[in-house]
């Protein structure tokens, strides 16, 4: 898996370097700030892909005494660096746009420049789609971030072509700086999105998608003996996951039975979630005065109250740091 990630990032670096040369040559022959916008973003592509290659190498290293959860979070850092570079490039382009609006330069060979930018956009579109698809499959934020950035670059290229075409047909050359300014704002917005996602991962912010996937896996394999799951936490470390949860089991189970049920929960999550999954399960005994109302065990030998309702396992219920007896008023049918 890690070898495939490395191959994809190396491909991204090679393609980005080639397209960087193509775009700067296009700017050289046209002197268009709009094309310079595209070329500047390509510099970010190259730098970000190089850093992504290092982050994938580091994230693949095994756990050690100093990093008991592994090195996967470097992928969040990589995505953040890429976002910051995008923002810096956007700020530079805004400066260049304002400067050129005040001190305009003649433009030339715009059809040729459009052709070069169009070629770059097609190649970037195909590469970005591949990286995002593989990033989701391999559960790699680094590949997804790089693919999203390159796809954004491809979309920008085609929009830029439309802008250059308007300039070429109307001879309103000041529009070059205007288009460049608005494209730079769009670039900064995308950079902010990557930084925001990076900070969220580094700060262990709740990832609704990861929790939703975990809840679906547990619901598919739900057993009657699993009376309740609560206080569930899902943390991501790059492509790896760490899951904590409390599992309520019948209080009369012996230690071997408790161990077997805990092992089943761990096995279900490890087998059905992407990447390396580490699961810590804390076993709680059921409390008859409260748990009997929603316990699903048929013919329970110690049941004190009839079953009233089955608790729905969803992200909200399973994340609460308490058993669900506090909700019985709303759960019990009148």
CA separation, residue 253 to residues 264, 266, 281, 283, 290 (Å): 15, 18, 16, 11, 18
The answer to whether 146 and 154 have CB atoms below 8 angstroms apart is no
Nearest to 20, CA basis, from 53, 48, 56, 52: 48
| Final residue before a domain boundary, out of 136, 167, 202 | 202
| Final residue before a domain boundary, out of 164, 181, 202 | 202
Q: Are β-strands 277-285 and 240-249 bridged in parallel, bridged antiparallel, or unpaired?
A: parallel
Higher pLDDT, 148 or 133: 133
Query: Which pLDDT score, from 0 to 100, does residue 18 have?
Result: 92
Mean pLDDT of 227-256: 87
User: Do 93 and 193 lie in a common domain?
Assistant: yes
User: Do 189 and 269 lie in a common domain?
Assistant: no
User: Do 186 and 243 lie in a common domain?
Assistant: no
The domain tally of the chain equals 2
User: Do 183 and 215 lie in a common domain?
Assistant: no
User: Do 196 and 218 lie in a common domain?
Assistant: no
pLDDT tens figures, 34-80: 787 778 777 777 877 787 777 777 766 777 777 766 666 776 777 78
pLDDT > 90: what percent of the chain? Answer: 20
| Final residue before a domain boundary, out of 202, 225, 259 | 202
User: Do 234 and 165 lie in a common domain?
Assistant: no
Query: Which pLDDT score, from 0 to 100, does residue 324 have?
Result: 55
User: Do 24 and 40 lie in a common domain?
Assistant: yes
The pTM score is: 0.60
Angle of helix 74-102 versus helix 33-59 axis, rounded to 10: 170
Full domain range(s) for residue 79: 2-202
The CATH number of the domain holding residue 51 is 1.20.1510.10
User: Do 196 and 305 lie in a common domain?
Assistant: no
User: Do 39 and 16 lie in a common domain?
Assistant: yes
Nearest to 222, CA basis, from 328, 281, 296, 331: 296
Reading the block at residue 97, the tokens are 């746009």
């Amino acid at each position: 898996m890690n070898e495939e990630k490395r191959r994809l990032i190396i491909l991204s670096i090679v393609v980005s370097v080639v397209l960087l040369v193509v775009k700067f040559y296009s700017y050289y022959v046209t002197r268009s700030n709009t094309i310079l916008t595209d070329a500047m973003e390509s510099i970010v592509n190259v730098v970000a892909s190089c850093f992504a290659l290092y982050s994938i190498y580091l994230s693949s290293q095994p756990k050690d005494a100093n990093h008991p959860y592994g090195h996967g979070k470097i992928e969040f850092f990589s995505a953040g660096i890429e976002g910051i570079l995008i923002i810096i490039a956007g700020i530079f382009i805004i400066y260049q746009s304002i400067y050129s609006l005040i001190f305009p330069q003649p433009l030339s060979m715009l059809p040729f420049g459009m052709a070069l930018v169009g070629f770059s956009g097609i190649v970037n579109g195909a590469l970005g789609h591949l990286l995002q698809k593989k990033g989701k499959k391999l559960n790699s934020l680094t590949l997804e971030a790089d693919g999203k950035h390159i796809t954004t670059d491809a979309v920008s290229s085609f929009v830029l072509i439309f802008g250059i075409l308007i300039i070429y047909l109307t001879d309103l050359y000041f529009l070059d700086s205007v288009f460049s300014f608005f494209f730079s704002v769009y670039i900064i917005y995308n950079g902010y999105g990557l930084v925001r996602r990076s900070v969220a991962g580094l700060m262990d912010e709740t990832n609704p998608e990861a929790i939703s996937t975990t809840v679906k896996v547990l619901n598919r394999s739900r057993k009657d003996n699993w009376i309740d799951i609560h206080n569930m936490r899902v943390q991501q470390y790059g492509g790896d996951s760490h899951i904590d949860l409390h599992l309520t089991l019948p209080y009369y189970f012996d230690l071997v039975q408790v161990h077997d049920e805990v092992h089943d929960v761990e096995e279900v999550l490890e087998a059905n979630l992407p990447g390396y999954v580490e699961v810590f399960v804390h076993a709680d005994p059921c409390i008859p005065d409260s748990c009997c109302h929603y316990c699903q065990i048929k013919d329970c030998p110690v049941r004190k109250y009839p079953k009233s309702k089955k608790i729905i396992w969803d992200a909200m219920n399973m994340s609460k740091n308490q058993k669900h007896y506090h909700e019985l008023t709303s759960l019990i049918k009148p």
